[in-house]
Amino acid sequence: MQNNIFFIVLWTACVVATIIGAALAVRRPVGRYIGRVAVGVLFVVGGALLHVINLVRGDDYAGFADPAHFAWVTTAWRAVVPPNHVLLIGLLILFEATAGVLVISGRWTRLGYVAVIAFHLLLWLFGWFETVYALIMLPPLVLLLHAETRLNRHRDRPAVPSR
């Protein structure tokens, strides 16, 4: 139970920090850094580490897709994931850890945000909670990606020589 409380607090803090970071990133560079850290921690600790803990505990993720919006999602999930949960959740761990590290990296932040946004675009399929969560997260993630793109576009612009 303490494990669940920790992750609920962590997820909530990361979601709030992501929203604040995105709002600030529109005008202030500090917002980009708040967003990077929040999203990076969310994916590395709140995602990848949680899945490592779940696998060690023996969770096979069989019931994850039960609340899905479409029966085919639940059916496909139950047919594919539980029998191969170590491999598939292992790949999910690798994906989430990589996306989180890319977001934090600075150099590859935009690629990390693209991965994180793609993840959230697919997550809605798994139920109403995931749909609401994705709808809350997608606008700030897009704003953070835009802020990073705007920053890099500004950096890549050649300096105009003064006369």
pTM of the model: 0.88
Residue 162 has pLDDT above 60, yes or no: no
Contact present, 110 and 152 (Cβ < 8 Å):
yes
Structure confidence at residue 49 (pLDDT): 96
Structure confidence at residue 150 (pLDDT): 82
Structure confidence at residue 106 (pLDDT): 87
Domain ranges of the chain: 2-151
CA 111 to chain centre: 12
121-156 confidence digits (pLDDT tens): 999 999 999 999 999 999 999 999 999 998 665 555
Tell me the C-alpha distance between 144 and 32, whole Å.
Answer: 6
99-112 confidence digits (pLDDT tens): 999 999 989 999 99
65-108 confidence digits (pLDDT tens): 999 999 999 999 999 999 999 999 999 999 999 999 999 998 99
1-56 confidence digits (pLDDT tens): 556 899 999 999 999 999 999 999 989 999 999 999 999 999 999 999 999 999 99
Collect all residues with Cβ–Cβ distance below 8 Å to 131 and sequence separation of at least 6: 69, 124
Alpha helices per DSSP H over the chain: 2-25, 29-43, 50-57, 71-80, 85-105, 109-123, 128-156
